[in-house]
Structure 1
Amino acid sequence: MRRAADFPPPILLPVNGIELEVFEAGRHNAGKPVVLCHGWPEHAYSWRHQVPALVAAGYHVIVANQRGYGRSSRPAEVTAYDIEHLTGDLVALLDHYGYDDATFIGHDWGSFVVWGLTLLHPNRVNKVINLSLPYPERGQTPWVAAMEAALGSDYYFVHFNRQPGVADAVLDANTARFLRNIYRTDEPSAVPRSGMVMIDLARAEQPVGEPVMSERELDVFVAAFESSGFTSSINWYRNLDRNWHLLARVNPIIEQPALMIYGYRDAVARAENLAAFVPHVEEVTMNSGHWIQQEKPDEVNRAILGWLQRHDAD
């Protein structure tokens, strides 16, 4: 894998009945673990700006390509990507390193997994930092049905579930173009169009806005998805309603200290009632799009490290 000089080399670890491709740094800081969880369509490398900063601040940093990504295992069964399996991988990762608990940092789908981990395995999480995706309130209706009613059948969460395999094939056939077109910032305002946005991005001849990363950095993502394909990562979406049912049995309140980082220009809406479910949360908004830790790495690092320093001192 082509990678930045300060990004750690990968190892394959057997955990929870699969293998995870793990990038570890700062083992000399053992005892202060931080686990980083990426989103979609991402890679552990999306945390390249945070890893050295966290190590320099005294943390043992563990970041994996979660199941379905990179060289990590890609089980064939769709249900192998539900929240119990995804959080089980993280629990097993802690067990491998001999940690009772850790601070978990997530972005996008990684945030969903961190919220779910904190609900399902609260004793394994001491602090929560999430970017972009706030706590997913369950509501009265399964998530995909609620999205379909509100946003229509072409909304990509719904499309992934109702038309399995259709988007996967388009993204697989246009991997480099899709990733080039989705990793943009400072996009001009546009009237929302009908159609499936991810398929449209995969087919668009010209990107809009400015690139989030260099061509060399983007090559890391392209090479990974050209090898893995997209189906295994899209299977995370295909468990959304299953996750809604699985999370019905847990206490919905998160008691751990939490930091929520939003992008002002992110299409993901902020939660107006976050403190009702995460009472010990601090919220920060940055002038960023969706790819917050890659768009505003210095600001994100300052926010994370400042917050951790205050809470580690408690």
Structure 2
Amino acid sequence: MFNPTDFPKPTLISVNGVELEVFEAGRQNAGEPIVLCHGWPEHAFSWRHQMAALAAAGYHVIVPNQRGYGNSSRPTEVTDYDIEHLSGDLIALLDHYGYEDATFVGHDWGAMVVWGLTLLHPNRVNKVINLSLPYQERGEKPWIEFMEEILGGDYYFVHFNRQPGVADAVLEDNTFRFLRNMYRKNEPLGEPEPGMVMINLANAETPLGEPLMSDSELAVFVSAFETSGFTGSINWYRNLDRNWRLLAEVNPIIQQPTLMIYGDRDAVPKSEILTNFVPNVEVVNLDCGHWIQQEKPEETNQAILRWLEQQDAT
């Protein structure tokens, strides 16, 4: 297990009207930048196993706590968490360091941000590596509206939007239990009642499944969310239909070389049409659940570094 004291110390960087808490490794390399984007409910610390390996390979590794997370800014307006703002933060971060473009890596919601960033700012993204969440086709109906029709009002994406503040309060009252029960190996998170899964996880007193991490690692996440609360991060979900509209006029095809890493036991379904929208993609499947880079760190590092080496050789 990783010793949290070995994680780099952060810097607060002012970009795009907010401050981002940013962790770095390998800046002295003066190498190609690679930006790692966490998911929900996570933290830059979720990339702790990747930072040293990528820095050792010569990259300048940049890992922000995105807005709403950790000690980064938490704007009060819900619309300040739409894809234009989230991608704008990352572009401004590149500008801060003086980089024209970078490789972007995303997991879970971080993958959604990287997909959107690549659509909105294709000239600033040279390669894409995403974990768990494949490219989401825009479709004919806004995403929350579509999910509500198919999965019902208790599905957590819909619940977050239709009952603002309810889940936020439950998760904040039960932060330790919720995160302990979220971060487990090899198991889908949606059983037995997928609609209210997040609230169920927060209310479950008995630990569920095999822990993903040590108590000291878990404490990093718990402390961060006890400080930040959950509203800022859940506001990302509350912009899904707004994002659907914001992406209406962009070219939906991602041309950048892309690596897609799935967990075979992940509840997030694999895409059957990925190459329709991401034609230059390579797919890797690992035997793990949703928290891919934390559950299978060595395999994840090997897959990423092998693919990057192949791209550099072409």
Q: Please confirm whether the aligned pair reaches a TM-score higher than 0.5, indicating the same fold.
A: yes
Mapped to 2, the partners of 1:312 and 1:138 lie a distance apart of 31
Mapped to 1, the partners of 2:37 and 2:113 lie a distance apart of 8
Mapped to 1, the partners of 2:136 and 2:227 lie a distance apart of 31
State the number of aligned residues: 313
Q: Which residue of 1 aligns with 2:235?
A: 235
SS of the equivalent of 2:20 reads strand
Q: Which amino acid aligns with 2:133?
A: L
Give the gaps of 5 or more residues in structure 1.
none
1:189 deviates by: 10
1:192 deviates by: 3.5
Q: Which residue of 2 aligns with 1:184?
A: 184
1:205 deviates by: 0.9
SS of the equivalent of 1:49 reads helix
SS of the equivalent of 1:148 reads helix
Mapped to 1, the partners of 2:103 and 2:7 lie a distance apart of 20
Mapped to 1, the partners of 2:200 and 2:241 lie a distance apart of 25
1:253 is aligned to 2:253: yes
SS of the equivalent of 1:39 reads coil
1:187 deviates by: 3.4
Mapped to 2, the partners of 1:64 and 1:100 lie a distance apart of 18
Contact 1:132-1:263 within 8 A present in 2 as well: yes
Q: Which residue of 1 aligns with 2:220?
A: 220
Alignment of 1:1-314 (within 5 A): 4-187=4-187, 192-193=192-193, 195-314=195-314
Mapped to 1, the partners of 2:200 and 2:191 lie a distance apart of 14
Q: Which amino acid aligns with 2:271?
A: A
1:5 deviates by: 4.1
1:208 deviates by: 1.8
SS of the equivalent of 1:249 reads coil
Contact 1:111-1:134 within 8 A present in 2 as well: yes
Most deviating of 189-198 and 216-225? 189-198
Flag as ranges the 4+ runs of structure 1 deviating above 3 A. 186-192
SS of the equivalent of 1:185 reads coil
1:312 deviates by: 1.3
1:254 deviates by: 0.3
Question: Deviation string for 1:257-304 (max 9, x for gaps)?
Answer: 000000000000000010000000000111010000000000000000
Query: Residues 43, 191 of structure 1: CA spacing in aligned structure 2 closer, same or farther, 3 A cutoff?
Result: closer
1:190 deviates by: 8.7
Q: Which amino acid aligns with 1:81?
A: Y
Contact 1:3-1:220 within 8 A present in 2 as well: no
Give the gaps of 5 or more residues in structure 2.
none
Contact 2:262-2:284 within 8 A present in 1 as well: yes
Q: Which amino acid aligns with 2:83?
A: I
Instruction: Give the fraction of aligned pairs with identical amino acids, expressed as a percent.
Output: 74
1:193 deviates by: 2.4
Mapped to 2, the partners of 1:188 and 1:39 lie a distance apart of 16
